Amino acid sequence: MAAPIIELTAVDKTFESRAGATEALRAISLAVEAGEFVSIIGPSGCGKSSLLRIVGDLVQPSAGTVRVNGKSARQARLDRDYGIVFQTPVLYEWRTVLENVKLPLELAGRPRGERERRPPTLLRLVGLEEFAGHHPWQLSGGMQQRVSIARALALNPSILLMDEPFGALDEMTRERLNQELLQVCAETAATVLFVTHSIAEAVFLSSRIVVMSPRPGHIDRIVTVDLPHPRVDKTRALPRFFELVTEVRQSLREDPRLAAGREGQDGPGAR
Amino acid sequence: MSSTGDDRTAARPRQRLRSLATLVAIAVVWEAAKILFALPSYQLPHLHEIAADFLREGAGGERWLSIMALNAGYTALESLIGFALGGVAGLVLAIGFAQSRWLERGLLPYVVASQTVPILAIAPMVVVWLGTSWFSKAVIAAYLTFFPVTVNMSRGLRAVDPDALALMRALAASPRQIFFKLRFPASLPYLFTALRLSATASVIGAIVGELPVGSRFGMGVVIINAAQYYNWRPANLWAAILVSALIGIAFYHAVAAIERRTIGWARAVPAI
């Protein structure tokens, strides 16, 4: 087996504030292989976003080690190994759609030729080439998030970090974007770490699902998704799809702290 | 959506009509008040008296229209220079404050104090120090201009979306890139709000700077003279006030027009 592309060992995270210390993550160990699509699912406040940000060197762990591509998370960030997508599109509204996608190339000081050629290609990939000259506010939420994905792919990162990217979208848009995301990932061969609230989304997208417990978050279980590729609309109708959804839901419920009346959170807006 | 641009252009003639209607309404109220309260001309002249004052010949044989235009030009130029000086000073302070809490804590109390001192008290001293040339007036205008820019802009530079900053960090942007590609453009709406305030304040500053003895040109000089002869020719002061106001209005609209061209991407740009 090849060395994992992301390797977390015994990671703890405690947030200190005036109100006291909050233990967000406890003893997280996880290895992600190159090309995997790993979802992190769990109840609100279980530290999934913190975990993602620790991998991306945006938040520092209180204990434990993070290795990415065989180096520290900080070095991986400085080497621009990451593409990142947030729950909100975080587009710069003074830039056009095309200029937003160009931003990472500018920051990395890529040569002019690449800066001019790459963004239109990326916009074609997410189906928005006609909107290159538009400003972000002229686009729907789903379209904005596609721009944000195109921007994340601009530097051809080996790792894509996605923090509930479709959490604010309606169910139909979300399903369509799920499928588009898989197509995009197939073309770019990026490894994806994907935080979500939606069980169905996690099952549809992932090769593995990391189920987390409530605060302090730790890994309850890892569900391997053995659905066939490519995943298409019909995949959602397979009996195996429902079995996996049930399995993940059960894992979320089994936690004694969750069992107290909490239903599986697979709808949007669970936040 | 994309139709917003069309709506804006379609709104122009309607907006003009509205402005015209407002002017007519003010004129009606003005003249009605004069009749209703039996106000003599030294309290409130007729509008046509004010209009006629522009056509009257002054002591040197020139019409007041050209006398006003010359002095208004002086004031406008002083205001513009003061506006530019104050804007740059305000921006430099704001960037300093945004970079360093320490600098802000040390200097902000004095910046605030500077604005609590009446400009009328400071103006004569500045004129004594710097002479009666245009420069002292511009400095007084700048004194009123820099404050809104400093306050608003240092706030704007800090009010950046945390995720937008996280994105910059994830992309390993340098502090310089973060400033020029994120903080500065993101705070432009704050800057323009400040510049709208500063535009009118700079005209007030220049006029106040022209009031002390020794100045020869500018609306401040015209106002002082007209006030001295008010009982004799009240319409003259009213005309001077009107012209002064028009300079301020023109400045404000110039800033607003530049704002629309520069940050048309911001949805919150006011119509006027």
- The tally of domains found in chain B comes to 2
State the complex-level ipTM.
0.86
Report yes or no on B269 lying in a domain.
Answer: no
Cα–Cα distance between A191 and A202 in angstroms, integer?
Answer: 15
A chain contacts of residue B181, beta-carbon cutoff 8 Å: 92, 103, 106-107
Domain that holds residue B4: 1-39
Residue B272 reports pLDDT greater than 80: no
pLDDT per residue as tens digits for the range A177-206: 888 888 888 888 889 999 998 999 999 999
Weakest mean pLDDT among B103-107, B155-159, B264-268: B264-268
Same-domain check for residues B52 and B164: yes
Contact B58, B229 (CB under 8 A): no
Average pLDDT on B30-53 reads 90
Task: Let me know if residue B267 belongs to a domain.
Answer: no
| Integer Cα distance of A161 and B173 in angstroms | 17
Instruction: Looking at the structure, tell me whether residues B50 and B182 fall in a common domain.
Output: yes
- Paired sense of beta strands A208-212 and A37-41, if any: parallel
Residue B33 shares a structural domain with residue B63: no
CB contact under 8 A, B172 and A107: yes
Q: Are residues B217 and B107 in the same domain?
A: yes
Check whether B270 has a pLDDT greater than 70.
no
Window 82-101 of B, Cβ < 8 Å to A: none
Percentage of chain B beyond pLDDT 70 is 94
**Phi, psi at B3, each rounded to 5°:** -75, -15
Which burial class, exposed, middle or buried, applies to A244 when counting CB atoms under 10 A from its CB (0-12, 13-18, 19+)? Answer: buried
Residues B10 and B56 in one domain: no
End-to-end CA distance of chain B: 20
Q: Are A203 and A225 in contact (CB under 8 A)?
A: yes
At B164-185, the pLDDT tens digits run: 999 999 999 999 999 999 999 9
Q: Which residues, given as ranges, of chain A have pLDDT below 70?
A: 1-2, 255-271
Angle at A48 (CA atoms; ends A45, A54), nearest 5 degrees = 120
Tell whether B205 is covered by a domain.
yes
Decide if A138 and B1 are in contact by the 8 Å CB cutoff: yes
Domain shared by B124 and B23, yes or no: no
H or E element, residue A187: helix A171-188
Is B168 inside a domain boundary?
Answer: yes
pLDDT at res. A269: 40
CB-CB under 8 Å, A78 with B172: yes
CB nearest B161 (choices: A90, A138, A155):
A90
| A70's tokens | 């065989």
- Residue A6's H or E segment, with its range, is strand A6-17
Say whether both B23 and B67 belong to one domain: no
**Pair (B50, B3) in one structural domain:** no
